[in-house]
């Protein structure tokens, strides 16, 4: 059966309707941390987070014990402190930079970003990758996690419990938050024990999407879908009528 030019246009319209029903993309700016202030960090090195603030993000204080890492730099002390290895990069297909923070309560700093144009009452799904480690030349078991806040709601990531010199492999995390305002502050605070060891937490691949919008398409998307389906059905019936 041949498909006419008219039918192709109808199918294309249907595809557009389907595309418009798909949820919006990442609401987080610079979730791969590739853009940042300060001088360019060489590949395989890292830079103090206070001097290389990721674009779109802010830092609560200027404590030094945190860094913006390029792939392959977790065990390097160039530009920041090194952790024990072997330490892999975040899971593929992610190819961005990542954050390294000391979880010592005396030095913890929040990395935050204001998310705008939210819909009150909608649920938002946050996903990211995390890993953990311990600074070289230190000994003792450690624990590490992220304390994640979205507005007034705070949730903890999965907890690492590492042996001395241990490495916590990258793992995916998912959290669901409900917007109570059109703007909410998303923040990540490194939390670890014990102080002075120090416990280190890593962050990469931050993504926030409107899961309510994904589950329930907007009325305009539903209309587009209905028009597309009706067009395809009408075209099919016309061909059948002419062939009779």
Residue 141: half-sphere exposure toward Cβ, Cα within 13 Å: 4
- Whether residue 223 has pLDDT greater than 80: no
pLDDT digits (tens, 9 = 90+) for 158-212: 999 999 999 999 999 999 999 999 999 999 999 999 998 889 999 999 999 999 9
pLDDT digits (tens, 9 = 90+) for 52-62: 999 999 998 66
Confidence of residue 16 (pLDDT cuts 50, 70, 90): very low
Q: Which residues, other chains included, contact 152 with Cβ-Cβ below 8 Å and sequence gap of 6+? A: 180
Would you give the distance in Å from CA 202 to the centre of its chain?
Answer: 13
> Could you count the other beta carbons within 10 Å of the beta carbon of residue 165?
17
pLDDT digits (tens, 9 = 90+) for 75-123: 999 999 999 999 999 999 999 999 999 999 888 789 999 999 999 999 9
> Could you count the other beta carbons within 10 Å of the beta carbon of residue 57?
24
In the chain the domains, ranked by start, together with CATH numbers, are: 26-211 (2.60.120.260)
% the chain with pLDDT above 90: 68
Query: Dihedral, CA atoms, 162, 205, 212, 184, nearest 10 degrees?
Result: 90
The structure's pTM equals 0.79
């Amino acid at each position: 059966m041949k498909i006419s030019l008219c039918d192709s246009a109808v199918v294309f319209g249907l595809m557009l309707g389907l595309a418009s029903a798909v949820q919006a993309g990442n609401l987080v700016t610079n979730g791969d941390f590739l853009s940042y202030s300060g001088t360019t960090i060489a590949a395989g090195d890292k830079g103090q987070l206070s001097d290389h603030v990721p674009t779109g993000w802010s830092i609560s204080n200027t404590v030094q014990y945190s860094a913006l890492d390029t792939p392959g730099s977790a065990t390097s002390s160039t530009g920041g402190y090194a952790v024990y290895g072997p330490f892999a990069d975040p899971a593929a297909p992610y190819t961005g930079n990542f954050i390294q923070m000391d979880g010592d309560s005396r030095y913890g700093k929040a990395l935050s970003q204001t998310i705008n144009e939210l819909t009150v009452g909608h649920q938002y799904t946050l996903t990211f990758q995390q890993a953990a480690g311990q600074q070289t030349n230190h000994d003792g078991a450690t624990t590490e996690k992220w304390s994640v806040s979205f507005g007034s709601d705070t949730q903890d990531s999965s907890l690492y419990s590492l042996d001395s010199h241990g490495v916590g492999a990258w793992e995916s995390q998912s959290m669901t938050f409900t917007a109570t305002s059109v703007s909410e502050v998303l923040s990540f605070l490194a939390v670890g024990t014990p102080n002075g060891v120090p416990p280190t937490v890593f962050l990469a691949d931050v993504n926030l999407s409107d899961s309510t919008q994904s589950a329930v398409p907007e009325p305009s998307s539903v209309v587009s879908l209905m028009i597309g389906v009706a067009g395809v059905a009408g075209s099919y019936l016309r061909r059948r009528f002419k062939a009779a």
